[in-house]
Structure 1
Amino acid sequence: MKSTIVITVLFGLSLTPSLAGKNVDRNKQISTGENSHQTLSINKEKSTACIDMNDGRDSWNIIWNYNTGYMATRIFAQKVCFISKMNKNVMPDIVAISKMTEKKKRAKGQRHPSKDLVYVVSKKRVRDLKSYGEDIFALCKGLPTYIAHEVRGSQFWYNQGSCFQLNILFVLGIRYCDNTGSS
């Protein structure tokens, strides 16, 4: 009887890592330039994707929360965070991100994002970060945080020279720009 219990426990312990890994994709590191790389982490249980750009002073993090429909971007050089509604018509599906990234990575000479989004940053600071979920709260806690609204075409005037450009995994380009008009 003791040997049966020991065997059962050992079998259970050997399965634990494989079962735990079903909801969280391992970090995938993608080289984006000579001295930079992006790391993609997907949590299927929470329906979140986190992309970290490691490029010295131009480093940033972004979280896409597919449950809440919000994304947050922390830009290290500016010590600021932006929260935006996700455009589900343009954002890659959480299941397809890894595959799309690998496909773009293998394509020679096609390293530019296939889709681009422009967000204009509001001048109003976000006061209640917790309302956007625990992941966004953790990313932006302690930083000035602003709402950024997507713009299409010539809806708003913005200073293109004041934009911060993100190239996310060669799949999506995002620009956060200062609004030169009223907010």
Structure 2
Amino acid sequence: MTTVSRLDAQRLRASVGELAELLIDTVDGGASIGFLAPLERETAVAWWEERVDAVSAGRLAVWVAHTADRILGTVSLVFPDKPNSRHRAELVKLMVHRDGRGQGLGRGLLTTAEHAAVTAGITLLHLDTETDSPAESLYRSAGWTRLGAIPDYAATPSGELRPTTIFYKRVGATVLGS
């Protein structure tokens, strides 16, 4: 059975090794999520360790989809710190291990992050993803709106420059005139 749980800073620190393995698998699988292949374990571990302070400070929320013995996926929300942008958040690093794909984990993680955003008072979410990637169809089917694409925005793990599509989604109650 797979469960989705939010990680506090202590649990994130304890999960860094597993999350590093998930990140490596995602990059090895060809996903353009900010890293080039081959991704070394030390780099992946360091990247996750750098997130612990942001979770502690409340600037980042991280969820994992896991079984009793393994993390199979993750998603995060980044909360801006500027007074005029506290109504929005960025959805980042939605990853599902290749062994866990096709089981609805990506959609479950996405839904969890959306519901948590509403609970936190967020009314607008945004994200970017590689154009024509499998993630694009997930976001479209989940009600996200495609804003447009930026050419040559990011490199794939193999180094090929690819366009990135920007999506947004209104969630919760939008406050007008505030």
TM-score by length of 2: 0.29
TM value normalised by structure 1:
0.29
Q: Which has the higher strand share?
A: 1
In terms of fraction of residues, the more helix-rich structure is: 2
